Structure 1
Amino acid sequence: MARPHGETAELLAPAPRRPKRLAAVVVSTLVDRIVSGAFPPGTPLPTEPALCETFDVSRTTIREAVKVLEEKGLVRARQGSGTTVTEEDDWNLLDPMVLSATVRHDSELRVLDQLVDIRAALESQMAAQAALTATDADLREIEAVLERLSAQTRIPEMYVDTDVAYHDRIMLASGNRLARAIVRTVHAEARTSLRYVGDPRPDDCEASNAGHIRIFECLLARDPDGAAEAMTTHIQQAWRRRRPKPGTA
């Protein structure tokens, strides 16, 4: 068989190792170590040579990783001064990787409590807006999801996913794209934590669905204040039911 040559040979040549792919592994590990406190705020990261040896990668890869960590607000690199871990207030908690690590190492559940507060604030506002602006088609679709929820209260593993769909459909009906995007981002990461989702039983699902029904009644009645209050109450009560007891988190 003739050997490929010219442009064909270039196309068939093995792809070079991509520093960004290697950097992703370095970034993931360093994010976890920073958030866990292994590298506390105000302390320097290990030197480039030390990181190269630890991860068995080139300096180019380490520099790429540090650049990504800077974008996430976790470190600050200064010429001649090395790279320093920033204070927690500078971390970008809307970054999925940072949020995921923060939730993972949140032994006192403070971040999860704050996340629930954010959900309640944003979703209550969106429920109020949906009560005013949802179309008849929106309400029919929300009702269809609610009917699925009501049929799944005895099947928690199905109910929890439909629960997310119900809330999302109300947010969509509100027309507030930014608030919906924020809630979807933080909620998606929170749901990767078993401490957040808990282990719901059928009676938990029944109690939760009573809140869903109340929210929908307010939407149908075009009652924005009632919808906002019902959403806030539902989210907060659902969290209180599944929040791990002190000492068990």
Structure 2
Amino acid sequence: MTKRKPLSTIVAEGLAERIRSGAIALGAQLPTEADLCREYDVSRTVIREAVARLRSGGLIVPQQGRGMFVSEAPVPRNFSIPDEALKTLPETIALLELRLSVEVEAAGLCAERRTDCEAKTIRALMEGIDARHDDPTAVQIHYDYDFHLAVAKAAGNAFILGFLDYLRPIIVPRFQLRHIVAPELKDAYYARIHTEHEHIVDAIERGNGPAARDAMRRHLANSLERVRALALASGIAQSDVRQTLGAETPFAELMRSLTMK
């Protein structure tokens, strides 16, 4: 006799199929618990178990105070990450949090200080990077770092540019795009990133500092959520994600030099 699937599994598989088919769009909010209870005619406990399963698989991510949202780049169901790379996930998340604090202000300063020539250079670089839809197995997650450096350069603060340039060899060669993007979602992912870039560049061209800061914050926050989803799907505990950078990392050398000054 075939064993019947648990109700939570049936609900989770149904929602997962709706996400993969596009019936529930990338970035869209999941229906409320009450709505899902009515739709599937099950209890709240069943819905919570189903949602927990989707979250552990990287298909959905929480947004504090707002609810559950479909991940903009759901983690592929079958992925393999080398052990040495997997160990760097907490550091990668910490570095993205650091980038948020620096690059948001850099984007605002860029919008307020850039020359017309610099604005044209930034747009041309962005369009060139976003026109490529490389195979996710042959490109790094942070393939757009040159764009971010161009924004920092036009911010007119040599320390910001120098700091982000220092981070480049630490940040960029960490994970391939395939680790967070399923092949069938590649084009949708590149389109999403281009939209985020476009909002940043548009604000820079208009000289609108607050809008540029908001656009850069959304772009990097989305990147952070994608990597957090990867960590969750890889079984890395939240306490591990929050760990400090190890003393053996190259970044620790910079931290030591700063504290001694």
Residue in 1 that maps onto 2:199: 214
| Rounded Cα–Cα distance in structure 2 between residues aligned with 1:246 and 1:158 | 22
Q: How does 1:4-15 map to 2 (within 5 A)?
A: none
Q: Is the 8 A contact 2:200 2:215 kept in 1?
A: yes
With a CA cutoff of 8 Å and minimum separation of 6, indicate the structure with the bigger relative contact order: 2
Q: Is the 8 A contact 2:113 2:155 kept in 1?
A: yes
Q: Which runs of 5+ in 2 are unaligned?
A: 1-83, 237-261
Q: From 107, 112, 116, give the equivalent of 2:92.
A: 112
The normalised TM-score by structure 1 is 0.51
| Rounded Cα–Cα distance in structure 2 between residues aligned with 1:232 and 1:114 | 15
Which entry has the higher C-alpha Rg, 1 or 2?
1
Q: Given the alignment of the two structures, is residue 149 of structure 1 paired with residue 129 of structure 2, yes or no?
A: yes
Q: Is the 8 A contact 1:214 1:230 kept in 2?
A: yes
Q: CA deviation at 1:147?
A: 1.6
Q: Is the 8 A contact 1:153 1:159 kept in 2?
A: no
| Rounded Cα–Cα distance in structure 1 between residues aligned with 2:200 and 2:215 | 5
Q: Report SS of the residue matched to 2:91.
A: helix
Q: Which runs of 5+ in 1 are unaligned?
A: 1-103
- For the aligned residue pairs, the C-alpha RMSD in angstroms reads 2.9
| Rounded Cα–Cα distance in structure 1 between residues aligned with 2:116 and 2:140 | 25
Residue in 1 that maps onto 2:209: 224
Cα–Cα, structure 1 residues 159 and 193, in superposed 2: closer, same or farther, change >3 Å?
closer
Cα–Cα, structure 1 residues 185 and 198, in superposed 2: closer, same or farther, change >3 Å?
farther
Q: Given the alignment of the two structures, is residue 189 of structure 1 paired with residue 170 of structure 2, yes or no?
A: yes
Cα–Cα, structure 1 residues 234 and 228, in superposed 2: closer, same or farther, change >3 Å?
same
Q: CA deviation at 1:128?
A: 0.5
Cα–Cα, structure 1 residues 197 and 233, in superposed 2: closer, same or farther, change >3 Å?
farther
| Rounded Cα–Cα distance in structure 1 between residues aligned with 2:204 and 2:113 | 10
Counterpart residue type for residue 116 of structure 1: L
- Matched residue count: 147
Residue in 2 that maps onto 1:29: none
Write out per-residue CA displacement over residues 32-59 of structure 1, whole angstroms, 9 at most, x where no aligned residue: xxxxxxxxxxxxxxxxxxxxxxxxxxxx
Q: Report SS of the residue matched to 2:133.
A: coil
Q: Report SS of the residue matched to 2:168.
A: helix
| Rounded Cα–Cα distance in structure 1 between residues aligned with 2:140 and 2:211 | 24
Q: From 70, 89, 103, give the equivalent of 1:123.
A: 103
Q: CA deviation at 1:122?
A: 0.7
Q: CA deviation at 1:191?
A: 1.9
